[in-house]
Every structure is written in structure tokens, then in C-alpha cells.
Amino acid sequence: MDGQGCDGDLVEIMARMADGDDAAMVTLYERYRTPIAGAVQRELRHRGARLDRDEVGGLVIDVCLELREVAGAWSPDGGAKPWVWARRRIGNVVDRALGQHADPLDEARLASAEAPAPVGRVGDRSLVDALARVAPDLESARLVADALDEARISPRDRELVLEYAYEKQAGNPAPATTVAAAFGMKEATVRQAFRRAVQRLRRLAAEDERFAPLAELPLLA
Amino acid sequence: MSARGRRVAARARHPTARQWPPDRARLLRLLAERAAGRGARWPRVAAAVIALRGVAGDDRPTFATRVGIPLDQLERLEQGSEPPTAVPPVLRAVRGLVDWSWVDAGPPADPRPG
């Protein structure tokens, strides 16, 4: 796998999973459990949660099962690996596991508590978090989204850029390592894709007045 | 050590070079539960054979040819309609992937009513 698009091996495995072949799910686990584990760990990190390796190992199997259920809807044409494409599903698997580990509700405290502030859906959290971190207000977030369109950044690279920038802004000292594991890519390829996208965004900010405020955002810092 | 050797050693130490360790016992239990859910009489046999085909990365015809058994026999094994004694020696000879004592100890599931 070179991380550029999806290899034929993975395409064939997903097609067999879509046909209901459980053995293909085992093949997916055998060949791709490492990047899938990376995707699970990333979701845990986004939730500020930690599980031991044995528990993460169980989630990796749960994710393979989840991918089997949605394999028919995945297409290699989008360029995203299945565990990147199905990130919300993976987030749901992680949330279910974290729910099992949560402390039981204290009914008395719950009754006396103020009504909680509304929050976004947990499944939407990672990308929304990423965008919020690199473009802190709604107008900036819209500008980033428009700029990614205008600069013709591919769908995969958009996710990659936002995740990379999120990890960087969150203080991760090795964002390329984290993003590479999640996207099933080489670290060097991640750095190159990020650098290329940021260069295009900087050029856009310099050449088009509408996008000039981009230069002030953490994304391009 | 040469510079190239040091680079190779450094890459091998890097976290991304390490494979996530497999938990095949857990995977087998999951496959057996799924087979039982489909009404398999011998769900552990089904799980073991499906797992071995999955590790090989084969579709059913390719795997049947690889292990030298008729396709319909492979299908019966994967459906869990054959007991552990029906598992061909060529599959039992595979070590380290399946705990055959666990497979052999698996009781037959009750037939589904109906």
C-alpha cells in the first residue's frame, strides 16, 4: 500500500465482505488491523479517553465487524480507506465501549444538576473539532471550507489537512505519525500532502483578497 | 554498523513499523457466535475453517483447491454442519492460528426449532 488511493487487494476484500463473506472480514483483520487500530486510537484520543491494549484490540475486531456491515456502501473511488471513510461508525464503536466503562449515573446528583448545555452529536465530533481548532469561528470555518474547494484539494487531502492541523494544534509532537496510522499512509506522504495543500492555500490567500484572512488562521501558521 | 544499517534499525524501532498484535482467539469466538446465530450445529468448526480461509485470503473455490477438498465439503464445514472429526487433516496440520483443542471441545448446538 502506498497510501495513494486504495490497492486492489483492499478493494477485493471489501467486495467479498459486501457479499457477506466472513472470511474476508478475517482477511481485513489480518492485513489491516494496524491502521484500523490507529483509527480506533485516534477516536479515543479525540475523546480524551484511554483504554488498555487488550480493550483496543477488542475494538479493532468490532470495527472489522462494523466495516463488514457497511462494506457495500464503500467505494474506492473516493480515495479514502474504509476505516477513514467509516470514521463516524468507528466513533460510535468507541462511544459504545466508553459507555460500558463509564461510572453509573448518580441519580441524586443528576436530579439536582442544571440542565446540560446542548452539544453536537458525538459521531460528528472529530471533523468538527478539527475545523473548530484550525478555524476558531464560524466565518473562518466557512472560509476554510471555501478555500479547500477553490484550491481544488481532493476529498482525502481535505480530511488529511484538517486532521493534521488538528493534531498539530492539539500539541501532538508527531502529527504525521498519528495521521499516517489513521489514513493507512506513509508519514512522508502525509507530510508531503499537507505541505502541498498548505502551499496552495497560502498562494490562494496571497492572490485572492477574499481569502486573505486565511493567512491569519492557525491552519496556515 | 553502516549508515544504512542504522537507518533500517531506526525504522524498525519506530512505532509505525510495529504491527498491532492479533487476537485470533477473540476473533474465533466472534466467528463462532455468528455461526451459532446462523443456526450452525458446530459453530466452532465453522469459525475455525472460516478463520483459516480468511488468513489465506482466498475465496471458497481457491481455498478448496489449495487444501485439496471438494468445494461442497468446504461449504458444509463453514456452515458448521460437520463435526470436528470431519475437519480434514490438512487443515488440522495448520498450527498457531487455531486452537484445535477449543474446536474439539465445542459442544454441538441445539438444532433450531422449526
E strands present in A55-175: none
Tell me which residue has cell 443528576. Answer: A110
User: B63: nearest CA in chain A?
Assistant: A23
Query: Whole-angstrom Cα distance, residue A144 to residue A162?
Result: 10
Q: What is the pLDDT of residues A10-29, one digit of tens each?
A: 999 999 999 999 999 999 99
Say if the Cβ atoms of A23 and B16 lie within 8 Å. no
Tell me which residue has cell 469466538. Answer: B29
User: A15: nearest CA in chain B?
Assistant: B59
Tell me the HSE value of A54 on the side-chain side, using a 13 A CA sphere.
Answer: 2
E strands present in chain B: none
| Domains of chain A by start residue, with CATH | 8-101 (1.10.1740), 125-220 (no CATH)
Q: Is B39 left (phi over 0), alpha (psi -120 to 50) or beta?
A: left
With an 8 Å Cβ cutoff, is B69 touching chain A? no
Please state the ipTM of this predicted complex: 0.86
Q: What is the pLDDT of residues B31-75, one digit of tens each?
A: 999 999 999 999 999 999 999 999 999 999 999 999 999 999 999
Say if the Cβ atoms of A34 and B20 lie within 8 Å. yes
Tell me which residue has cell 497560502. Answer: A202
Q: For chain A, positions 107-146, list CB contacts with chain B under 8 A.
A: none
Is the per-residue pLDDT at A166 higher than 90?
no
Q: What is the pLDDT of residues A124-143, one digit of tens each?
A: 445 556 666 666 666 777 78
Say if the Cβ atoms of B22 and A33 lie within 8 Å. yes
pTM tops 0.90, yes or no: no
